[in-house]
Structure 1
Amino acid sequence: MIELDGVTCRYGRGGDGEGDDEDGDEGVDDATVAVDDISLTVPDGEFLVVAGANGSGKTTLVRTFNGLVEPDAGTVAVNGTPVDEDLVAARSAVGMVFQDPRDQLVAATVGADVAFGPENLGLAHDESDRRVDEALAAVNMAGRERERVDSLSGGERERVAIAGALAMEPDHLVLDEPFTGLDEPARRSVVERLRALHREGTSVVVVTHDLRDVAALADRIVGLADGRVAVDAPPEEAVSALPGLDVRVPEGGGLDEPTG
């Protein structure tokens, strides 16, 4: 379980160089509030969508889940342990896929990059290899382990980043705009993998401004505006309010499950 209590995050304070918020808005004023007094619980096994326009605070919010962003006020706990007391535990339990895959790819080849996390957990080679194979298959990258990361397209790099997080098999998987740059087959493959993870008991958090791929999978949708929670409801209730937050919803507000 991920628990946030009164979390507030500011940027630009004290000339620390954090003048851009994590959702892509540049040139924010000094001490801009990116996340404003948010309390939120993500239960084990929930599929949560955090929706909002650029600058709404959604990326900053989810980066507090495993300590990538430290709140200025409030507390964050993962599985009952405060994040600031055990960053290693938080980052093992909460897997994160960044909006820009260049921020997390660390190895020269596809296979080595996806294996980086499992190997750092000290897993046996057979187990690490199994995780790498399954994760790459999930994003339509099977058999490409030896390809160099720097030779890949932007969409392919996104898929490798997702595979790297999947290979960690975390309790909670957080994906920030995971479908950006993906072609239709890859989008369907990732959706199917997220559906399977959810059914297996992993809590999944998807950050997006476009609900068409994930609305039907969600148990709950939280919509942010100006750093605050504007919507917190089941999908059937949330979709009617979300267009007012500059969020794209399925045509007609339909919530039929995507087909693969």
Structure 2
Amino acid sequence: MAEFSIRLDDLGYEVAGRPVLSGITLHSPARRIGVVGRNGSGKSTLARLLAGLLKPTSGQVRIAGIDPIRDRRAALETVGILFQNPEHQIIFPHVGEEIAFGLRQQGLNKAEAARRGQAMLQSFGKAHWTDAPVSALSQGQKHLVCMMAVLAMRPQLMILDEPFAGLDIPTRRQLARHLDRSGTRLIHISHDPGDLAGYDHLFWLDRGRIMAEGAAAPLLADFTAEMIRQGDLDDIADLAG
């Protein structure tokens, strides 16, 4: 079996002629890849390009050899994405329906999708959530529903677009533990170095370009030092939104 890898070659994306990402080249077979960058650096755009939700303006994306924008059926089997805001991901009013939806998109019949969705809930100790209204859940619980919905589809790779932003420390730790136990390959995109400590391979994204790559500890130390330096500047107008 060929080695699983993520390949971005000279990837670019523009909005109304303005470059958001430029010349992104990223090659890695690592199981846990981190992308760190400040707000406004193009992280969420990169996540959506990786998942095949946006079409590149230039260059190409390959996840395990497939182009996720051109081969949507293969993409559904290969890559999943967890957004920062679960409200942008959840469609259905009840938990069981939400988890079954992606499975139906993969071609499972209604009964099989329900069975596998129930098995996923059971594996997380949440079988009693099947008929629970999503509106009654806390923000952290909604994040967990989204995570279970993606994991139920058994993707080879999960993209995390700052899913822990705004959550309290216990919730962040619990969700991170669930992800670790899943054994799924991850690309975790975050502005918070604490989210990415211990990852196998890191990339530093700044103003739409890869500034550095390498092992987690030294790269995160350099990133943190630079963020502190920028935070100590007097002109706040120079800070990204």
Report the TM range for the smaller structure's normalisation. Answer: 0.7 to 0.9
Which residue of 4, 10, 13 maps to 1:9? 13
Summarize the alignment of residues 38-57 of structure 1 with structure 2, pairs less than 5 Å apart.
38-43=24-29, 46-57=31-42
The higher relative CO (CA closer than 8 Å, separation ≥ 6) is in 2
Distance 1:136 1:186 in 2: 20
TM superposition shift of 1:110: 1.0
Q: For residues 79-131 of structure 1, what are the alpha-carbon distances to aligned partners after superposition, in whole Å with 9 as ceiling and x for unaligned?
A: 22333431221233110111221111111101110121123323464675345
SS at match of 2:40: coil
Identity %: 31
Instruction: Give the Cα–Cα distance (whole angstroms) in 2 for the partners of residues 184 and 137 of structure 1.
Output: 23
| AA matched with 2:82 | V
Q: Please, which of 52, 58, 63 is the counterpart of residue 48 of structure 2?
A: 63
TM-score by length of 2: 0.82
Is the CA contact 1:52–1:246 (under 8 Å) kept in the aligned structure 2?
A: no
CA distance in 1, matches of 2:43, 2:121: 26
How large is the RMSD of aligned CA atoms in angstroms?
2.4
Kept in 2, the 8 Å contact 1:114–1:167? The answer is yes
Tell me the alpha carbon deviations over residues 134-157 of structure 1, each in whole angstroms, 9 at most, x when there is no partner. 35754x755222111223333322
What corresponds to 1:232 in structure 2? 213
* Cross-structure match for 1:77: 62
Partner of 2:145: 160
Q: Which runs of 5+ in 2 are unaligned?
A: 229-241
Q: CA deviation at 1:62?
A: 1.9
Query: Which amino acid is 1:68 matched to?
Result: L
| Pairing 1:171-186 to 2, within 5 Å after superposition | 171-186=156-171
Mapped partners of 1:160, 1:83: distance in 2: 24
**What runs of 5+ residues in structure 1 fail to find an aligned partner?**
14-30, 248-260
Task: Name the CA shift for 1:223/1:104 in 2 (closer, same or farther; >3 Å).
Answer: same
Q: TM-score if structure 1 supplies the norm length?
A: 0.76
Q: Among 178, 181, 201, which residue is 1:196 paired with?
A: 181
1:221 partnered with 2:202: yes
In structure 2, the CA distance between the partners of 1:196 and 1:246, relative to structure 1 (3 Å rule), is same
Letter in 1 for 2:224: P
SS in 1 for 2:174: helix
Pick aligned residue for 1:114 from 78, 92, 99: 99
Question: Is the aligned partner of 1:208 residue 2:193?
Answer: no
What SS does the corresponding residue of 1:85 show, helix, strand or coil? Answer: coil
Report how many residues are paired. 223
